[in-house]
Chains A and B, each alone.
Chain A
Amino acid sequence: MNSNSKSTPYREGLRDGVPIGLGYFAVAFSLGIAARGAGLSALQGFIASTLCIASAGEYALFSLIGAGATLLEIALVTLITNARYLLMSAALSQRIRPEMPNVHRFLFGAAITDELFGINIARPGYLDPVYYYGAITTSVPLWAVGTALGIMMGNLLPGRIVSALSVALYGMFLAIFVPAAKGDRVVAACVVLSFGLSWLFRTLPALAVISEGNRTILLTVAISVLAALLFPAREMEADNG
């Protein structure tokens, strides 16, 4: 078979979704172990991951199910742990080609995750829904399957493999913000500040009571507001071209 090297947005999406999917698989597997502890069946874990596609949000969901929480509590905690998607959705809205059919907003919007948002925002110009769907194709199923396998197989994977796979996600994050920091000193300063404050919030006993999801929202808003107030000239790439 001749492999055709012609690059289409869908194929590029498929390709860029692969490392995300591998990272998802490793994280979802450990998430599945938590879901198993909360009493979910493999099918329930599969459906939950297909629908929610959120690591921190789902971890909170499974913990709450295990603790016998009410639906109102689940709704509130989901709102808090996933609030950053509200910001990402707003950021994506600024990158949409005016003539794009509206239906796309309802489709790829369901799959706004840190990583899929990251690779889409990293592409120059208008958002391409087809690229987004390509990336979903190779990543989200691995997230759902990983969760189900974690529930079924528990601790079969050696810890060393899980350990190595689990940094894949962070490697992807680095691949997105390090080049941006290289090209923009304000972004670089933001990254350093983010690392420092995130570490401080994680370490200081008085601040460590703040949950991971809330810490992410709080620091994201605080640092981005600060940067926007001090250096307001930065604009999104789509508006320059």
Chain B
Amino acid sequence: MGRIWLSILTAFAVSYVIRVLPLTLIRKPIKNRFLRSFLYYVPYVTLAVMTFPAIVEATELPAAGTAALVVGIVVAWRGGSLIQVAAACCAVVLLLEAIL
């Protein structure tokens, strides 16, 4: 088998173990208050860390990415669905990059 295929399989094996191990090993509700709180915060913090400043750097013009961030926050704050928020962000970038 080629080196590329072996590399892909290696990455898959490691990713799969990382993803499935906690799910299969942790069978009971975690009682520890600190751990429970920690796991409650993790998803929001991870997503926030990955969103900024990455969204500003994802577009051709940083101003468009910044505008997408602001508009996205406003739409999400007002209760916009997943699709609505994502579409609003895309539309702002399309519009701004066409104008600027």
On chain B, the residues within 8 Å of A90 by CB distance are 22-23, 26, 39
Q: What are the nearest 3 A-B pairs in CB distance? A: A171-B89, A178-B76, A194-B48
**10 additional contacts (CB under 8 A) given A53-B15, A102-B24, A232-B34:** A75-B14, A78-B14, A82-B18, A84-B46, A91-B43, A164-B59, A167-B55, A167-B92, A175-B75, A191-B48
Main secondary structure of the interface of A (DSSP, over half): helix
Give the docked Cα–Cα distance between A220 and B49 (Å). 7
Interface mask (B56-93 → A, CB under 8 Å = 1, otherwise 0) = 00111100110011001101110111111111111111
Q: Is the CB of A220 within 8 A of B58?
A: no
Give the docked Cα–Cα distance between A18 and B86 (Å). 11
Interface-central residue, B38, B69, B77, by most chain A CB under 10 Å: B38
On chain B, the residues within 8 Å of A136 by CB distance are none
Give the docked Cα–Cα distance between A36 and B61 (Å). 25
On chain B, the residues within 8 Å of A121 by CB distance are 43
Q: Is the CB of B43 within 8 A of A228?
A: no
Pick 19 A–B contacts, CB within 8 A, sort by A: A65-B3, A65-B4, A71-B6, A110-B19, A117-B43, A163-B60, A163-B64, A163-B97, A164-B91, A164-B94, A166-B58, A167-B72, A172-B85, A175-B86, A179-B76, A220-B42, A220-B46, A223-B45, A235-B36
Cβ of A130 within 8 Å of any chain B Cβ, yes or no, is: no
Q: Is the CB of A167 within 8 A of B38?
A: no
